[in-house]
């Protein structure tokens, strides 16, 4: 039985709180754990996304068409140093054009690990809630930033875009998935014109069904009001929670 009165506080969160000290330094055990977490966060950023395997998994398990693209950033190093290149499609990109209400983009972002773990089950939940939407083939994008979705939406002829992307790893969360929705997507859209649901990563973060419910509500309201971003809020009266939306 522990006699440390701070145990309850530590068990209430995955954040590093109440670690104590050894002399004027952090206890060795906690220091080693911290370094391990830092290494895991770096690995999450640099491990490449296996786009062909992900595309095959999406096609096989969800039965939807998939296209693969890359941003203008030619490699991970350039992607990290030049965020602007991660927001533009590579010059040789060729995507089928049509008339769609929505295109879903799955991008590696800053955590390909999050995509490998959560993209397919989250995509399954989202697609199940899109009855009545004309949905373009899913696009898997590498070296991708959120705004790359705007260019993809324009290229495929979609009015709106939902980007599922790996979030910047934290020291206790290396696999968080973010979902960004933009109505009337096109190049030059500001971040304030998007709605974001973050920290999708069961069992420690938001689970897939409630995340998909919130997204579906926001997307339906976006179509009705013809806007997204700060002017569009999760309305509890419509059955969605407020956590993680902006």
- Asked, for residue 43, whether it belongs to a domain, the answer is no
- Asked, for residue 11, whether it belongs to a domain, the answer is no
The residue segments making up the domain with residue 216 are: 54-232
Q: What is the CATH number of the domain that holds 162?
A: 3.40.50.11240
Entry pTM: 0.88
- Asked, for residue 238, whether it belongs to a domain, the answer is no
Residue 1 in this model has a pLDDT that exceeds 60 = no
- Asked, for residue 179, whether it belongs to a domain, the answer is yes
Q: Name the band, by pLDDT with cuts 50, 70 and 90, for residue 235.
A: low
To the question of whether residue 167 is assigned a binding role by annotation, the answer is yes
Q: pLDDT digit string (tens) for 34-69?
A: 999 999 999 899 999 999 999 999 999 999 999 999
Which region among 3-7, 110-114, 129-133, 185-189 has the lowest average model confidence (pLDDT)? Answer: 3-7
- Asked, for residue 190, whether it belongs to a domain, the answer is yes
Q: pLDDT digit string (tens) for 157-211?
A: 999 999 999 999 988 889 999 999 999 999 999 999 999 999 999 998 999 999 9
Q: pLDDT digit string (tens) for 62-85?
A: 999 999 999 999 999 999 999 999
- Asked, for residue 62, whether it belongs to a domain, the answer is yes
Tally of structural domains, the chain: 1
- When pLDDT is averaged across residues 217-232 and rounded to a whole number, the result is 92
**Residue among 69, 51, 87 nearest 182 (CA):** 87
To the question of whether residue 99 is assigned a binding role by annotation, the answer is no
To the question of whether residue 221 is assigned a binding role by annotation, the answer is no
- The per-residue pLDDT of the chain, averaged, comes to 90
- Asked, for residue 32, whether it belongs to a domain, the answer is no
- Asked, for residue 178, whether it belongs to a domain, the answer is yes
Sheet containing strand 138-142, edge to edge, reads 66-70, 138-142, 100-107, 158-166, 177-183, 195-200
């Amino acid at each position: 039985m522990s006699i440390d009165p701070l145990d309850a506080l530590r068990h209430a969160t995955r954040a590093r709180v109440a670690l104590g000290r050894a002399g004027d330094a952090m206890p060795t055990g906690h220091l080693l754990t911290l370094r391990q977490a830092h290494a895991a966060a770096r690995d999450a950023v640099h491990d490449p996304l296996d786009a062909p395997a992900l595309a095959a998994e999406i096609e096989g398990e969800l039965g939807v068409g998939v296209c693969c693209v890359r941003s203008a950033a030619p490699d991970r190093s350039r992607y990290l140093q030049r965020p602007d290149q991660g927001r533009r499609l590579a010059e040789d990109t060729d995507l089928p054009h049509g008339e769609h209400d929505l295109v879903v983009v799955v991008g590696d972002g800053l955590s390909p690990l999050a995509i490998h773990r959560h993209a397919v089950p989250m995509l399954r939940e989202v697609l199940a809630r899109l009855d009545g939407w004309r949905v373009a083939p899913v696009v898997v994008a590498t070296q991708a930033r959120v705004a790359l979705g705007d260019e993809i939406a324009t290229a495929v002829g979609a009015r709106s875009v939902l980007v599922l992307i790996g979030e910047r790893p934290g020291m206790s969360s290396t696999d968080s998935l973010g979902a960004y929705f933009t109505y009337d997507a096109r190049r030059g859209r500001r971040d304030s014109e998007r709605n974001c649901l973050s920290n999708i990563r069961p069992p420690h973060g938001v689970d897939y069904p409630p995340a998909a419910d919130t997204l579906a509500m926001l997307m339906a309201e976006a179509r009705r009001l013809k806007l997204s971003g700060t002017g569009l809020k999760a309305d509890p009266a419509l059955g969605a929670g407020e956590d993680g939306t902006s």
